[in-house]
Amino acid sequence: MSGRETAVGGHRRPRRAQLSLSAVEMAVGVLFVLGVAGGFAVGLPDPGGREAQLNGYARDAATLLADEPPMGDGETRLSAAAGSPAGFERERVALAERLETLLPDSVAFRLRTPQGAVGYPLPSADPVGRTTVSTLRGDVSLWVWYV
């Protein structure tokens, strides 16, 4: 007899033990259930919340900019920046500084007027909040996102 054989009634353990199928099934089952549970635990904590908050930031900042006096001539910062190339040049730096002050430190922005844009390049994937303000000289759009 070779070592692989077992005598009838013998108690020698086979050399090649087979993994208990129940253990395998248990492991698979536990992993599967844990995987699903992990999905719940990590969860979707308020998925629309970040975008809603970003939209709120954009609307609030635009509301304030549309109400504040400009550096030079004009009615408001926004209308002066949107009105003419010279106006945009005059207001550009002040607009960027003002947006840095208004928005939280963790938020970046991009403001686009018919005369040009200030701020950071738009991100490709993140949730982005946005608002658009109509001025006499065209639409001004403000994008904000978390960094």
Partner 1 sequence: MTRTRSPERWRGSERRRGQANLLAVAVALIVVTAVTVVAVALADGALADATRDPEERRAAERLGDRLVAGESGTALRANVVNETAVRELSAADLDRLAPVVAGRSVRVRLDGGTVVERGDPAGGVTVRRVVRAGERVERSSVHDLGENRTVQLPERTPRARLSFGVGSTVRTVRADGRIVLHDPGGLTGTYDVRVSRFDDVTLSFDAVGDVEGSVTVSRYPVNATATTLEVTVGERA
The residue ranges that bind partner 1 (CB under 8 A) are 5-6, 8-11, 13-14, 20-23, 25-26, 29-30, 33-34, 36-37, 40-41, 43-46, 49, 52-53, 56-57, 60-61, 63-64, 67, 69, 75-76, 101-104
Whole-angstrom CA distances from 125 to 3, 55, 147 are 63, 16, 12
In the bound state with partner 1, the residue whose beta carbon lies nearer, of 28 and 86, is: 28
Q: To the nearest whole angstrom, how small is the minimum distance from the Cβ of residue 108 to partner 1?
A: 14
Q: To the nearest whole angstrom, how small is the minimum distance from the Cβ of residue 6 to partner 1?
A: 5
Helix axes 47-65, 85-102, angle to 10 degrees: 130
Contact 37, 56 (CB under 8 A): no
In the bound state with partner 1, the residue whose beta carbon lies nearer, of 72 and 138, is: 72
Q: To the nearest whole angstrom, how small is the minimum distance from the Cβ of residue 79 to partner 1?
A: 8
Q: Residue 17 class from Cβ within 10 Å (0-12 exposed, 13-18 middle, 19+ buried)?
A: exposed
